Structure 1
Amino acid sequence: MVVLHVKRGDESQFLLQAPGSTELEELTAQVTRVYNGRLKVHRLCTEIEELAEHGVFLPPNMQGLTDEQIEELKLKDEWGEKCVPSGGSVFTKDDIGRRNGHAPNEKMKQVLKKTVEEAKAMVSKKQVEAGVFVTMEMVKDALDQLRGAVMIVYPMGLPPYDPIRMEFENKEDLSGTQRLKSFRSRRHSCGGLPRSCEEQRSFLTMWGKMRKPKSLSRFSRGQGAPAREPLISSEEHKQLMLFYHRRQEELKKLEENDDDSCLNSPWADNTALKRHFHGVKDIKWRPR
């Protein structure tokens, strides 16, 4: 088995385990699926947290409008009247104007928030420190838990334009959003993995020879390869620079100290060894 430590820039993302005989094309696709799956979980968690606080999404033609404008234009949120949370709603106005403000009651809100925390933990970057390998099964399990929690709180479902429903139905539209920059296609997924057949054979041969094979994979955008992994971490570099700074200060103080009285000490006598072997050590002269 091979362990891949996937990073984006210098930031760890997750650990992934795969057989050493895995083809590079399949390995690239596997890493990409897990990476994009984790992003999907985080997007859903963000939206579900907003759902718990401010209710379902407003129709696109009502978003960002004031109550006076909605009344003047005679707009109506028909889906908002159908999609009522279990146990009734509590009005909490959305200052951004994206959601209708009819939030779930406190009990249902805690159901959503607790599930979000559990889902985040399953695909968290802290899994790297714990040595846990992230798999597509874990990603799917997190998605299923989020879907189940939303169905419990909103048994009537969500509006078709709500981003949570669109994510669950794989109809999400990320065009023109910041989230698109994090999304990876297979073509630009793992810039750190070898691409040619010769590189692939060498790479897999190296995996087979290593007892504890581990590969570092980095995501990159564009045509160029990702940056090389630094020899030392930023924290180690900081400590090293601090050590050299202290050492320079010590040497500077020694240079500024002109006190040479230590040269009269016995240990500073460069003829002491010679006099010791000649037997003339500790000779005291007496005047006649």
Structure 2
Amino acid sequence: MVLLVVKRSETQQFLYEIPADTAVGEVIQRVVTINNLRQKIQRLKEGGEDLTDIQTDTQQDSDDAGSACASEQLEALQRTLAAADLLQHKDQAEKKVALTEDMLEEAVEDIRHAVAEAYPDGLASDNPFMRVLDGTEDLTGTSHDGENLDASEAELWFASKKLPLESKLSQHVGRNEKTKVVVKLQRAGYGPPPREPAVDEETQKAMLAYYYKKQEDQKRLAADDTMYYDSAWANPRSLKNQFSGIGDVRLS
């Protein structure tokens, strides 16, 4: 299985494994599905926090058993949302955790079950949270506009080249099933995506720290050189003064 580091931006990336002989068109369909599920979970996490905050406010003055039970179920919903968000987080790529359609779809279903437990009477179908959960929300003109992709309008780029849909992935990344490559996923018609930096962020930080330390060391050496020139033993006339009996006589 080839390990793809799929990037839409520096803050939107994930790992995905797929056989090297898979057609690029199918690769795009698979990674678009992962992308859209990740975005859905992010919106559910965002909307779920608002949902539980509102419900908690309405229960603050009530101490009956029913409200206590609902409170526990709301906490369970929050934990489920947090777990799903952690599953899809971009840090999973750094932890070398490859995502699958099944694991993300299962996370969405866990959220659906948690919502049903917290709201046994159900939520209105036009509730913003339910629109996200049911996939009926309209993102046009919102801050989330453009997050979802349509596989028929998406492109996959590797080494600054757009991969033809009819070609095999192996034609571009090789047949080694243990290969790890960075690919860019984007909407069609936007031209080549930005090039990858020559070094990753962690390496860049290490390099900056190294050069800073080197610069500080050079400053200390320069200071030591100055002290050397001010030392009596470095005075070229020191030996002559010694024989003349002048020693360390200084004029005030």
Which band: TM-score by shorter chain? 0.7 to 0.9
Q: Which residue of 1 aligns with 2:105?
A: 140
- Give yes or no for the alignment of 1:214 onto 2:186: no
Distance 1:227 1:39, change over 3 A: same
Offset of residue 17 of structure 1: 0.6
Distance 1:108 1:246, change over 3 A: closer
Percent of pairs with identical residues: 28
Structure 1: stretches of 5+ with no match in the other structure:
56-84, 93-101, 265-288
- Give yes or no for the alignment of 1:116 onto 2:81: yes
1: distance between equivalents of 2:83 and 2:216?
50
Q: Which residue of 2 aligns with 1:205?
A: 171
Distance 1:211 1:31, change over 3 A: closer
TM-score (norm 1): 0.65
Offset of residue 167 of structure 1: 2.2
| TM-superposition CA deviations, 1:243-279 (whole Å, max 9, x none) | 33443454466567364778x9xxxxxxxxxxxxxxx
Q: Which residue of 2 aligns with 1:238?
A: 205
User: Mapping of 1:185-200 within 5 angstroms?
Assistant: 185-186=150-151, 187-192=153-158, 194-196=162-164, 200=167
2: distance between equivalents of 1:250 and 1:51?
56
Distance 1:131 1:50, change over 3 A: same
1: distance between equivalents of 2:33 and 2:135?
13
State the number of aligned residues. Answer: 220
Q: Which residue of 2 aligns with 1:167?
A: 132
SS state at 2:199 partner:
coil
Offset of residue 47 of structure 1: 1.5
Structure 2: stretches of 5+ with no match in the other structure:
62-66, 237-252
1:12–1:128: 8 Å Cα contact kept in structure 2? Answer: no
Q: Which residue of 2 aligns with 1:228?
A: 195
User: Mapping of 1:146-161 within 5 angstroms?
Assistant: 146-161=111-126
Instruction: Give the letter for the 1:35 counterpart.
Output: N
TM-score (norm 2): 0.74
2: distance between equivalents of 1:47 and 1:53?
10
2: distance between equivalents of 1:169 and 1:197?
30
Q: Which residue of 2 aligns with 1:90?
A: 59
| TM-superposition CA deviations, 1:70-107 (whole Å, max 9, x none) | xxxxxxxxxxxxxxx9xxx6169xxxxxxxxx9x8422
